[in-house]
Amino acid sequence: MTTLCRDCASLATAPAGGRCAACRSPRLMSHPEIETLSLAHIDCDAFYASVEKRDHPELLDRPVIVGGGTRGVVLACCYVARLSGVRSAMPMFKARHACPDAVVIAPDMTKYRTVGRQVHELMRQATPLVQPLSIDEAFLDLAGAAEGPPARTLALLARQIEREIGVTVSIGLSYNKFLAKIASDLDKPRGFAAIGRAEALDFLGPRSVSLIWGVGAALQRKLAQDGIGTIAELRAHPERALVARYGTIGRRLARFSRGEDDRAVEPDQPTKSISAETTFTHDIAPYEALAEELRPLCDSVAHRLQRANKAATGVTLKLKTSDFQVLSRSRKLADPTQRAEILYRAVLPLLRAEADGTAYRLIGIGADRLAEAVLADPPDLFARPTE
């Protein structure tokens, strides 16, 4: 069975002594379907509280509650506070009683929205198919989004979110939205859980019908009156009977009980740009070496353009110097493109102008001003003599 290291993202078949052979990390993830599952739900851990801890490192080991204010309920609580029984949506007076030494912080929604947008933006670098569900969670469809198994892309994304934004996430990986969302909750915080096709029925069987999206308290009561408490009991009834008794939701009850959910991941906003970048182990100055680094990035961007059904009408080169100065240079393309080679040739003159001996620590390329794919690469482009 393939094992993924969640710290260094290396894949191995037989981990020695429960640790990663490459980096010795014990944070391994293995699953028989790890190579093929590609639908993910990512949820930030105790999001508001994590952002506050990030901004107030002295609170790292303290119980932190974000809440109070006019609503008087707990909006978020860290995992230390949860040990004392504090929960989201609990009235503040109860929370203070359960955890008298908690640090209570008034919510700063503007800040959380900004951080949430940053998290979503990193997700969109992994795949254009990101559907945010709220400020701190989203579905991602990673089928064909990158080289290698989606699980590996997800481990790298989780690490990037931790390093660059300073909050942790939990990942649920499966083959549809229903199960991915359940999975992200199985291993919190900083979790990574997968539910595969082979295990879905056994996994769901003993669980409560309330796990099914759309089953609220009223429907759950009605089902209980009919002797249906678990998903296995639901499965015993044919779809037609469930629709006849419970209305249109009967169809979903039947499908979800069998682990079937065909809802697609629907991005909430048009993709404005698709980019890829890489940070070097050692700073690089020569033009030729920098140009070589751009090649795989152009391949990745072209691949993602094709997958998103988009074409670039402009390219942007991004460089970061060894002292962290970021510069970006853009140009318009003659025709919209989805082709790596055209992106590469378009970005080289921009690089040529900046490769003046300066040492760079990062290089990136972005495909900008995206147009619909039907406009991409008009056929006469390749008949035209090279300019």
Supply the minimum distance, in Å, between the C-beta of residue 136 and Mg ion.
Answer: 4
Contact flag: residue 66 with Mg ion (CB under 5 A)? no
Phi, psi values for residue 77, rounded to 5°: -140, 145
Contact flag: residue 42 with Mg ion (CB under 5 A)? no
Size of the site for Mg ion (CB under 5 A): 4
**Residue 110: count of CB within 10 angstroms of its CB:** 8
Contact flag: residue 44 with Mg ion (CB under 5 A)? yes
Report the Cα 242 to chain-centroid distance in Å: 34
Question: Rounded to an integer, what distance in angstroms lies between the CA atom of residue 125 and that of residue 364?
Answer: 12
Contact flag: residue 191 with Mg ion (CB under 5 A)? no
Question: Rounded to an integer, what distance in angstroms lies between the CA atom of residue 177 and that of residue 10?
Answer: 26
Stretch that binds Mg ion, among 39-47, 140-148, 191-199, 292-300 (CB under 5 A): 39-47
Supply the minimum distance, in Å, between the C-beta of residue 189 and Mg ion.
Answer: 9
Considering only residues 45-64, where is the footprint of Mg ion by CB under 5 A?
47
Supply the minimum distance, in Å, between the C-beta of residue 184 and Mg ion.
Answer: 9
C-beta closer to Mg ion: residue 172 or 366: 172
Q: Is 137 a catalytic residue?
A: yes
Supply the minimum distance, in Å, between the C-beta of residue 80 and Mg ion.
Answer: 16
C-beta closer to Mg ion: residue 44 or 193: 44
Question: Rounded to an integer, what distance in angstroms lies between the CA atom of residue 338 and that of residue 128?
Answer: 14
Residue 216 identity: G
C-beta closer to Mg ion: residue 186 or 232: 186
C-beta closer to Mg ion: residue 24 or 117: 117
Stretch that binds Mg ion, among 32-40, 42-50, 223-231, 267-275 (CB under 5 A): 42-50
Question: Rounded to an integer, what distance in angstroms lies between the CA atom of residue 368 and that of residue 365?
Answer: 10
Contact flag: residue 284 with Mg ion (CB under 5 A)? no
First to last CA, the chain: 51
Supply the minimum distance, in Å, between the C-beta of residue 200 and Mg ion.
Answer: 24
C-beta closer to Mg ion: residue 33 or 136: 136
Supply the minimum distance, in Å, between the C-beta of residue 112 and Mg ion.
Answer: 11
Spell out, one character per residue from 120 to 159, where the chain touches Mg ion: x when CB under 5 A holds, - when not.
----------------x-----------------------
C-beta closer to Mg ion: residue 130 or 146: 130
Q: Assign residue 259 a region: left if phi > 0, alpha if psi is -120 to 50, beta otherwise? A: left
Task: Match 């660059």 to its residue by tokens.
Answer: 164
Residue among 52, 137, 277, 293 flagged as catalytic: 137
Nearest CA among 2, 5, 11, 280 for reference residue 155: 5
Contact flag: residue 43 with Mg ion (CB under 5 A)? yes
- Could you list the beta-strand ranges (E) of 78-135: 103-105, 130-134
Contact flag: residue 119 with Mg ion (CB under 5 A)? no
Each as own residue / partner, the long-range contacts of residues 187-195 (CB below 8 Å, 24 or more positions apart, any chain) are 188/43, 188/45, 189/45, 189/46, 189/79, 190/45, 190/158, 192/6, 192/29, 192/151, 192/154, 192/155, 192/158, 194/29, 194/31, 194/33, 194/34, 194/37, 194/151
Stretch that binds Mg ion, among 35-43, 117-125, 161-169, 238-246 (CB under 5 A): 35-43
Question: Rounded to an integer, what distance in angstroms lies between the CA atom of residue 159 and that of residue 298?
Answer: 23
Q: Which residues in this chain contact Mg ion in the complex, by CB under 5 A?
A: 43-44, 47, 136
What positions carry a catalytic annotation? 137
